[in-house]
């Protein structure tokens, strides 16, 4: 299991400072959608240059022009790019095509996908590296649990890796870890904490013990 740190409500300098403090405890650094919208793809380049041993994910949530937009992210230094599972198949295939040409990876975000098992099988057959279940930020306070969708999706996948995101905190992490996703994506559960290093160290310990 890998830990992906989602950076959303930060500046590039704040992100770099945070990674100098806690980067050793995470595997994948996500340049979140609000972050990349505010700062641009140059921040992907800066993070990759400063932390070359980490994989960097550009959370572009591509919905159209899959190959072209994925190429922009990979050119900027991203190792992984996201495309939405509700996109047209041609868009997803375009992003995957770009990834193969760069030797990089695609994570398909299954946010708001209906018939998640059926769609997961279709996307896996296209060659997606990761499928991510994701409770949207706007509805996280409703109590919706991404674990339910993850378990449904894991039952039908045979090759693609599974990632999980959506309001995961230290208190809920153990239940997630016990169900063995490949990637656990955490944003505010780390970045919103006063003692970020203490929290992420505890999270890392739970994840490593759950392997």
Q: What ranges do the domains of the chain cover?
A: 2-209
Q: Give residue-wise pLDDT tens across range 47-67.
A: 999 999 999 999 999 999 999
Q: Give residue-wise pLDDT tens across range 115-131.
A: 999 999 999 999 999 99
* Residue 32 CA from chain centroid, whole number: 8
- Coil/strand/helix, residue 7: strand
Whole-number pLDDT of residue 137: 59
Q: Give residue-wise pLDDT tens across range 68-114.
A: 999 999 999 999 999 999 999 999 999 999 999 999 999 999 999 99
Closest CA relative to residue 61, chosen from 113, 119, 9: 113
> Which pair of tokens denotes residue 83?
């495309």
Which CATH number does the domain 2-209 belong to among 3.30.230.10, 3.20.20.70, 3.40.50.150, 3.40.50.1820?
3.20.20.70
- The answer to whether the beta carbons of residues 83 and 108 sit under 8 Å apart is yes
pTM of the predicted protein model:
0.95
- The answer to whether the beta carbons of residues 82 and 132 sit under 8 Å apart is yes
Whole-number pLDDT of residue 138: 57
């Amino acid at each position: 299991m890998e830990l992906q740190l989602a950076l959303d409500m930060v500046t590039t300098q704040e992100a770099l400072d945070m990674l100098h403090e806690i980067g050793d405890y995470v595997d994948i650094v996500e340049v979140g959608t609000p972050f990349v919208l505010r700062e641009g793809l140059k921040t992907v380049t800066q993070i990759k240059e400063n932390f070359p041993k980490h994989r960097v994910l550009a959370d572009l949530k591509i919905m159209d022009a899959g190959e072209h937009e994925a190429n922009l992210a990979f050119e900027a230094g991203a190792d992984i790019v996201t495309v939405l599972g509700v996109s047209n198949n041609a868009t997803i295939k375009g992003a995957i095509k770009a990834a193969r040409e760069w030797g990089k990876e695609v994570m398909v975000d299954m946010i708001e996908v209906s018939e998640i098992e059926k769609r997961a099988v279709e996307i896996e057959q296209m060659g997606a590296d990761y499928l991510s279940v994701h409770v949207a930020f706007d509805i996280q306070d409703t109590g919706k649990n991404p674990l339910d969708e993850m378990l449904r999706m894991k039952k039908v996948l045979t090759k693609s890796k599974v990632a999980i995101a959506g309001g995961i905190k230290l208190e809920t992490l153990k239940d997630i870890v016990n169900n063995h996703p490949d990637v656990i994506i955490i944003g505010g559960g780390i970045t919103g904490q006063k003692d970020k290093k203490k929290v992420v160290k505890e999270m890392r310990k739970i994840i490593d013990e759950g392997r």
